């Protein structure tokens, strides 16, 4: 048997028993996340065996197999409807009996919490080769461990997928051995686990305050103007059909009349690679399956078509990509996915789908990923490729919800907190960080703190629902979509507007305009100076503003910067532009309209302020004459 072919197995001290691993992880949680002690979250224990069948048997077929393995008739077994996987309580069966059955392809421990969150692993795992590294080193190790090489990843061919045999070493043990060899860039398991879908259900309201907040009772008595200034942005652009917003989620109702005209071909990353699956349509089993349709509507539902709502980027296109789905586990409906599904969805969106913006209202809590170390490495690898090589090398901006655990936990959950993604927290209709004490009265909080990038409206956002009885309710609209799930597509829609007006922006510059123009709302201490300006724990660079982001992106013409001899920082505010030279010597400046007429001028040794009061909307040129040269900057003044 393959396990016996590995005599040095005990040499690797990192291979600990699941029980030891469990104890170690709990200690880490207690040290790092003190507020979570009051929560049941994170208390994973080995509750079940997950049996992966060789073929997708019916429930009756699966039960027949399980009975033959000695599972009693009254055992509480759960059958995954979209995976050939069933889970059996550990006290109902011996693993050996499951492994011995011909119908079982793989049997793995299934760790879960009382809330139904779980993590287990597939028989396969991934190894990333170094540049130029031959497959031979994988073959040698695989041979010694009795593993099968499935082949290179379709999208990132340096990533090799391998499979274990149920009678030999487990995938987790094989990962440890490959990692300990030191031969490879990255080695990671192929986990199957629950996902945080970052949405919260609550009572109805019926106005899109995220676009334009009038502060009335129908919009939750918020603060007038506490919005993303989307109506003002629409004076500049309502979006371009050439800009495709990928919605990586539970799938999008492709028949919805407010979405149907703008959908591009979709993808089902949850399906077998050989099957078309749902093509990005949701599974209409549970109300929660409406999640992706709600996210798509916020970002880009058709506007000015006489029905329903208008998305932020109302003339942009949508690519529906299914990267997770839902499963009833003992009465708890849980979203779940796998490492490989995320990898495939993230790669497909740019390599095949041609995505310009990626909206991701999901994440995975650390306690699930950390259970099997390296659980996020291969997904990060695919994020790196998308964000650097997507959009024909300009880089794809990937936005993520920060998570809805800000009451008991704090920093954004992965992948929002990953370095190459944009993490979006939720704001209330009073421009506060969403918390139990924000003005909306709802008892949840978005994750905040280190690695947060920005905020966007995330409370009671009206949006599209799956048609008919499918989705959250019996209609085609849902008036109260809540959570950082709602905040992320709001921000992604603004990114869609930015790229519609400026399709050549690379990712770094697009994110700079999005984040540096965010409004410093909420009265928080924006005391830290980071890459894109002043930053706060509560809302990062601030609450996204579509109108200001577009004005920021229209600021061009730094081509003579080198003649000036030093860098300039241009910042866009609702009532002014500020141009800050990185030099203390006085600069003479002159503001001209597009007819070449001087409208203002002065001399300044600090920030040059171009107040919008007294100017009409349009493009202006700001000429700067410094001691060592001159520069011309184009500024867009857009008044509403
Ligand atoms: Ca509409
Ligand atoms: Ca990030
Ligand atoms: Ca419905």
CA of 295 to the centre of ligand 1 (A): 14
Q: At what angle do helices 339-351 and 377-389 cross, to 10 degrees?
A: 10
pLDDT above 70 for 204: no
Q: Mind listing the pLDDT tens digit for each residue in 50-81?
A: 999 999 899 999 999 999 999 999 999 999 99
List residues bridging with 359 in a β-sheet: 247, 399
Q: Rounded to 5, what percent of the chain is helix, strand, coil?
A: 25, 30, 45
CA distance 83 to 77: 14
pLDDT band at 9 (very low <50, low <70, confident <90, very high): very low
pLDDT at 560: 44
pLDDT, mean of residues 571-585 = 86
Percent of the chain with pLDDT over 90: 72
Q: How far is the CA of 421 from the centre of ligand 2 (A)?
A: 4
CA of 26 to the centre of ligand 1 (A): 48
Name the residue among 375, 296, 389 with its Cα closest to residue 343. 375
Q: What is the mean pLDDT of residues 248-271?
A: 96
Contacts of 392 (CB under 8 A, 6+ apart): none
Q: For residue 114, how far is its CA from the centre of ligand 1 (angstroms)?
A: 41
Say what the pLDDT of residue 200 is: 59
pLDDT tier, 446 (very low <50, low <70, confident <90, very high otherwise): very high
State in Å: Cα 414 to ligand 2 middle: 8
Query: Is pLDDT above 70 for 346?
Result: yes
Which of 166, 177, 172 shows the shortest CA–CA distance to 190?
172
In the sheet that holds 317-322, the strands lie side by side as 267-268, 317-322, 244-249, 357-360, 397-401, 422-427, 454-457
Cβ contact 47:332 at 8 Å: no
Q: Tell me the C-alpha distance between 128 and 138, whole Å.
A: 10
pLDDT band with cut points at 50, 70 and 90 for residue 273: confident
Tell me the CA–centroid distance for residue 398 and ligand 2, in Å.
Answer: 9
Among residues 21, 6, 50, the alpha carbon closest in space to that of 169 is found at: 6
Judged against a pLDDT cut of 90, whether residue 628 lies above it is answered with: no
Peptide bond into 250 cis (omega under 30): no
- How far apart (Å, rounded) are the C-alpha atoms in residues 448 and 539? 7
Nearest to 325 by CA among 80, 53, 116, 108: 80
β-strands 244-249, 357-360 pairing? parallel
CB proximity list for 283: less than 8 A, separation 6 or greater: 81, 82, 250, 251, 289, 325, 326
Give me the pLDDT at residue 563, please. 67
Domains and CATH numbers, the chain: 2-194 (no CATH), 200-268+282-335+356-550 (3.40.50.200), 555-637 (2.60.40.3080)
Contact partners, residue 447, CB within 8 Å, separation at least 6: 402, 403, 404, 405, 406, 409, 410, 411, 412, 413, 416, 423, 425, 484
Q: Is the pLDDT of residue 248 over 60?
A: yes
* Distance from the alpha carbon of residue 340 to the mean position of ligand 2, in angstroms: 21
Instruction: Find the 467 Cα to ligand 3 centroid distance in Å.
Output: 5
The pLDDT of residue 564? 74
Q: How far is ligand 1, taken at its centre, from the CA of residue 546, in Å?
A: 19
How many whole angstroms separate alpha carbon 259 and alpha carbon 319?
11
* C-alpha of residue 510 to centroid of ligand 2, in Å: 15
Indicate which ligand has the atom closest to the C-alpha of 402.
Answer: 2
- The residue among 552, 450, 475, 548 whose CA lies nearest residue 233 is 548
Query: pTM to 2 decimals?
Result: 0.85
- The answer on pLDDT for 243 being more than 80 is yes
Contact, 498 vs 240, CB < 8 A?
no
Of 120, 345, 353, 118, nearest to 249 (Cα)?
A: 345
Contact of 362 with 404, CB cutoff 8 Å: no
Cα separation, 431 vs 58, whole angstroms: 50
pLDDT number for residue 513: 94
Q: How far apart are CA 378 and CA 405, in angstroms?
A: 25
Beta carbons of 585 and 626 less than 8 angstroms apart: yes
- More confident call, 331 vs 164: 164
Helix and strand numbers (H, E) in the chain are: 14, 29
Spacing, Cα 470 to ligand 3 middle (Å): 5
Confidence at residue 11, expressed as pLDDT on a 0 to 100 scale = 32
Rounded CA separation 161/460 (Å): 43
Task: Determine the distance separating the centroid of ligand 3 and the alpha carbon of 464, expressed in angstroms.
Answer: 8
- Burial (Cβ within 10 Å: 0-12, 13-18, ≥19) of residue 514: buried
Measured CA to CA, the distance from residue 122 to residue 244 in angstroms comes to 33
CA of 628 to the centre of ligand 3 (A): 64
**How many whole angstroms from 303 Cα to the centroid of ligand 1?**
4
pLDDT at position 205 over 70: no
Residues 56, 85 contacting (CB under 8 angstroms): no
User: What is the token pair recorded at 270?
Assistant: 């949850």
CB proximity list for 508: less than 8 A, separation 6 or greater: 395
**Cβ atoms of 590 and 623 closer than 8 Å:** yes
174-189 per-position pLDDT tens digit: 999 999 999 998 999 9
Q: What gap in Å lies between CA 168 and CA 17, rounded to an integer?
A: 16
Which ligand lies nearest to the CA atom of residue 310 in the structure?
1
pLDDT of residue 343: 98
Which of 310-319, 515-524, 553-562 has the weakest average pLDDT? Answer: 553-562
- Expressed in angstroms and rounded, the spacing between residue 471 Cα and the centre of ligand 3 is 4
* Percent of the chain at pLDDT exceeding 70: 91
Residue 144: pLDDT over 70? yes
Q: Which listed ligand is nearest to 452 at the C-alpha?
A: 2
109 and 18 in contact (C-beta within 8 Å)? yes
**Mean pLDDT calculated for residue range 418-435:** 97
Ligand lying closest to the C-alpha of residue 463: 1
pLDDT (0 to 100) of residue 12: 30
Q: What is the mean pLDDT of the chain?
A: 89
- HEC letters along 148-204: EEEEECCCCCCEEEEECCCCCCCHHHHHHHHHHCCCCCEEEEEEEEECECCCEECCC
pLDDT score for 276:
84
> Helix (H, G, I), strand (E, B), or coil: what is residue 547?
helix
CB 579 within 8 A of CB 570: yes
Q: Which ligand is nearest to the CA of 469?
A: 3
Residue range 538-573, pLDDT digits in tens: 999 999 999 999 999 987 654 445 567 777 788 888
Q: How far is CA 203 from the centre of its chain?
A: 25
Among 413, 384, 497, 493, CA closest to 197: 413
Environment class of residue 278 by beta-carbon count within 10 Å: exposed (0-12), middle (13-18) or buried (19+)? buried
């Amino acid at each position: 048997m393959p396990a016996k072919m590995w005599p040095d197995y005990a040499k690797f001290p990192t291979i600990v028993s699941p029980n030891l691993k469990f104890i170690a992880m709990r200690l880490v949680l207690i040290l790092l996340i003190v507020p979570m002690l009051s929560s049941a979250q994170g208390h994973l224990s080995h509750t079940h065996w997950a049996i992966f069948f060789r073929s997708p048997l019916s429930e009756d077929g699966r039960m027949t197999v399980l009975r033959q393995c000695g599972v009693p008739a009254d055992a509480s077994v759960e059958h995954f409807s979209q995976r050939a996987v069933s889970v059996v309580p550990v006290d109902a069966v011996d693993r050996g009996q499951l492994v011995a059955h011909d119908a079982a392809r793989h049997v793995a421990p299934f760790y879960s919490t009382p809330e139904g969150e779980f993590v287990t692993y597939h028989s396969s795992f991934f190894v990333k080769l170094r540049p130029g590294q031959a497959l031979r080193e994988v073959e040698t190790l695989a041979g010694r461990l009795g593993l099968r090489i499935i082949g290179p990843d379709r999208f990132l061919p340096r990533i090799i997928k391998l499979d274990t045999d149920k009678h030999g070493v487990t995938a987790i043990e094989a990962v440890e051995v490959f990692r300990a060899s030191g031969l490879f860039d990255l080695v990671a398991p192929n986990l199957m686990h629950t996902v945080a879908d970052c949405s919260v259900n609550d009572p109805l309201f019926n106005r899109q305050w995220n676009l334009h907040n009038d502060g009335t009772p129908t919009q939750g008595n918020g603060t007038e103007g506490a919005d993303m200034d989307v109506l003002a942005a629409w004076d500049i652009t309502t979006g371009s059909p050439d800009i495709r917003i990928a919605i990586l989620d539970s799938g999008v109702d492709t028949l919805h009349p407010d979405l149907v005209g703008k959908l591009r071909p979709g993808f089902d990353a949850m399906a077998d690679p050989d099957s078309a699956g749902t093509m990005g349509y949701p599974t209409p089993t549970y109300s929660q399956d409406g999640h992706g349709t709600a996210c798509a509507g916020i970002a880009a539902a058709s506007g000015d078509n006489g029905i329903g709502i208008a998305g932020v980027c109302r003339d942009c296109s949508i690519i529906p990509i299914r990267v997770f789905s839902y499963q009833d586990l003992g009465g708890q409906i849980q979203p779940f996915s796998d490492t490989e599904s995320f990898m495939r969805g993230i790669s497909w969106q740019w390599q095949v789908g041609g995505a310009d913006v990626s909206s991701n209202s999901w994440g995975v809590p650390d306690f699930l990923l950390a259970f099997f170390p390296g659980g996020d490495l291969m997904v990060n690898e695919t994020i790196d490729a998308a964000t650097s090589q997507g959009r024909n090398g300009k880089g794809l901006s990937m936005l993520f919800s920060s998570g809805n655990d800000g009451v008991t936990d704090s920093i954004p959950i992965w992948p929002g907190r990953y370095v190459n993604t944009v993490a979006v927290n939720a704001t209330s209709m009073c421009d506060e960080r969403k918390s139990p004490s924000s003005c909306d009265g709802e008892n949840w909080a978005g994750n905040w703190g280190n690695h947060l990038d920005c905020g966007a409206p995330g409370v009671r956002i009206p949006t599209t629902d799956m048609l008919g009885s499918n989705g959250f309710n019996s209609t085609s609209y849902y008036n109260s979509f809540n959570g950082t799930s709602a905040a992320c597509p709001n921000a992604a829609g603004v990114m869609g507007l930015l790229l519609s007006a400026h399709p050549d922006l690379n990712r770094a510059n697009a994110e700079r305009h999005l984040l540096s123009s965010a409004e410093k709302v909420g009265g928080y201490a924006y005391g830290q100076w980071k890459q894109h300006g002043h930053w706060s724990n509560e809302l990062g660079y601030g609450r996204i503003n579509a109108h200001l982001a577009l004005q920021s992106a229209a600021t061009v013409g730094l081509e003579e910067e080198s003649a000036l001899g030093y860098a300039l920082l241009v910042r866009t505010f609702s009532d002014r532009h500020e141009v800050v030279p990185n030099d203390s010597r006085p600069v003479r400046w002159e503001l001209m309209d597009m007819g070449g007429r001087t409208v203002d001028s002065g001399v300044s040794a600090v920030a040059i302020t171009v107040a919008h009061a007294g100017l009409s909307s349009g493009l202006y040129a700001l000429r700067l004459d410094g001691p060592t040269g001159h520069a011309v900057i184009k500024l867009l003044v857009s008044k509403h």
